[in-house]
Amino acid sequence: MDTEIIKFNRDDPDAEEMRRAGEIIRAGGLVAFPTETVYGLGGDALNPDSSRKIYAAKGRPSDNPLIVHISDVSDISKIAVVDNIAYVIENIQSKVSALAERFWPGPLTIILHKTDMVPYETTGGLDTVAIRMPSDPIALAFIEASGGYIAAPSANISGRPSPTRVSHVIEDMDGRIEMILDGGDVDIGVESTILDLTEEIPTILRPGAITDRHLAEVLGEVRYDPGIIEDNSSVAPKAPGMKYRHYAPRGEMVVVTGTHRAVADYINLRAEEDKHDLIKSGVICADEHVLDYRVPVVKCAGRLGDEETAAHRLYSILREFDAEEVDMIYSEAFDDEGIGNAVMNRLLKAAGHRVIDADGLN
Ligand code: TXA
Ligand code: MG
C-alpha cells in the first residue's frame, strides 16, 4: 500500500486534506496523527475491523486495549457509563467532569466502564474503555473530521519506542497504513498518564506528564498500580500494555545511580572493558556531563534537572542507539519528580529494570 504523507500546520489544521483523512477513517482505513504526547495510529474506534487492522499494522497482541480519542468532552456519554451505580467511587460523574475540566484537552487518559457502542476488538476484550482528549489542534481536527471516536495506540511497530517525530512514524508505518499526518515533532515525548476510575481508589496505571500530585488536587486520594512499581513482575500490571517489555534496545541497557563522580568513573571503566571486548557502548547523560565520559557514543538528554527535555528526547535517543548499532547502553538516572517519574518509568522498562548503584561499588 502507498502511504500518503501530508504536512499540516497547527494554525490551520482544518485544511481540505483533513476531510480526506476523515474519509479514510470512515471507510475503515488507518491514519497516523500527531498528539502532544506521541504520534498515534488511528482507526475508527467503533468499527471492529479498524481495530483489527491497527493490531495487524503494529504487530501488537490483540489483548492489549486501545485508547479512544475524542474531541468533545460530551462525547464520553456515548462510549462510557457514567452513572453512580456502576462505580465504587462516589460521585463519579462530577469527578470525571472535574478531571476533564482541569486536564482536557491534555495528556490524561481515564478508564471507565464501556457502553455497548464500543466493540471488544477496541478494548482487547475488556468491559472498560480508556478515553483521552488530546490537545494537539491537528489531532482534534482529525478526530472531528473522522466522526469523533479514534482508537489509537502509539504509532510504532510493537517493541519499538513510541514515535515523537514524523520520521519515526515513517520508519515504522510506511506502506502499512493509508496516510500519515505530519505535524513535526511532538511536544511532550512520553505517553499520557493513565488513570483507572473503576477501582475503589483512583489508580494510576501509567505515569505521564500529569502527576499523582496534580490528580490528587482534583480527586483527593490517588494511588499507583502496584504492577508498575514492582520490578520483579510478580504483580501483574492492570494496564495490559504495561506487562509487555515495551521496548527493548538491540543492545543491553543499564541505569547507573549514585553521585555523579562515581557514576562517571563506573561507566568509563566499563566502557574501556567494552572497547577491549569489541562491544560498542553508549551513554545517556545530562548536558553538563558530556565531557566527563570517554564512551564512543554520548547522547545528551537536556540540562540537569530539566526532565521535560529528557522526556522530549528519550525515545529519539533510544532509536538513535539502535540505528548506530550500540551494543551496551549506560544511562544516568533522572530526578523522578514531576514528569521525571514518567521518564524513569520508561527508562527502567527499556533497561529491563537493571540498575547499578555506583556508590555502593567501592
Ligand atoms: O499518549 C498516549 O496515550 C498515546 C497517544 C497516541 O494518545 N497512546 C498510547 O497508546 O500510548 P498505547 O496503546 O501505546 O498505550 C495504551 C495503554 C496500554 O498499556 C494499554 O494496555 C492501556 O493503555 N489500556 C488501554 N485501555 C485500557 C483499559 N480498558 N484498561 C486498562 N488499561 C488499558
Ligand atoms: Mg505504545
The model's pLDDT over 7-63, given as tens digits with 9 standing for 90+, comes to 999 988 877 899 999 999 999 999 999 999 999 999 999 999 999 999 999 998 878
Residue 238 has a pLDDT of 77
Residue 243 has a pLDDT of 62
Positions in the chain short of pLDDT 50: none
User: 239 to each of 5, 63, 115, 193, 311, how far by Cα in Å?
Assistant: 32, 11, 19, 11, 21
E strand or H helix at 182: strand 179-182
323 residue type, one letter: A
Q: Give the residue, out of 181, 194, 225, with the most ligand 1 atoms within 8 A of its beta carbon, to mutate for a pocket test.
A: 194
Q: How many CB atoms lie within 10 A of CB 86?
A: 13
Rounded to the nearest angstrom, the distance between the alpha carbon of 295 and the centre of ligand 1 is: 36
Residue 146 has a pLDDT of 98
190 Cβ inside 6 Å of ligand 1: no
Residue 231 has a pLDDT of 54
Residue 362 has a pLDDT of 61
**Cα separation of 9 and 182, whole Å?**
9
Q: How many CA atoms lie within 13 A of 118 on its CB side?
A: 31
**Cα separation of 319 and 67, whole Å?**
24
Residue 184 has a pLDDT of 97
Q: Which bin fits 5, alpha (ψ -120 to 50), beta or left (φ > 0)?
A: beta
Residue 253 has a pLDDT of 96
Helix ranges (H only) for the chain are 16-26, 48-58, 76-79, 92-103, 120-123, 137-145, 166-173, 212-219, 226-229, 260-276, 307-323, 340-350
Find cell 490528580 and name the residue: 215
Q: DSSP characters for 254-305?
A: EEEES-HHHHHHHHHHHHHHHHHTT--EEEEE-GGGGGG---SEEEE--STT
Measured in degrees and rounded to the nearest 5, phi and psi for residue 251 equal -95, 180
Q: What is the pLDDT of residues 303-348, one digit of tens each?
A: 999 999 999 999 999 999 999 999 999 999 999 999 999 999 999 9
The two most distant CA atoms of the chain are separated, in Å, by 65
Contacts of 262 (CB under 8 A, 6+ apart): 358, 359, 361, 362
Residue 24 has a pLDDT of 98
E strand or H helix at 9: none
pTM of the model: 0.96
Residue 229 has a pLDDT of 65
Residue 234 has a pLDDT of 57
Residue 323 has a pLDDT of 95
100 Cβ inside 6 Å of ligand 1: no
111 Cβ inside 6 Å of ligand 1: yes
Q: Which bin fits 275, alpha (ψ -120 to 50), beta or left (φ > 0)?
A: alpha
Our CA angle for 338, 344, 345, nearest 5°, is 100
62 Cβ inside 6 Å of ligand 1: no
Residue 245 has a pLDDT of 60
Q: How many CB atoms lie within 10 A of CB 220?
A: 10
249 Cβ inside 6 Å of ligand 1: no
Between the two ends of the chain, the Cα-to-Cα distance in Å is: 57
Find cell 457502542 and name the residue: 117
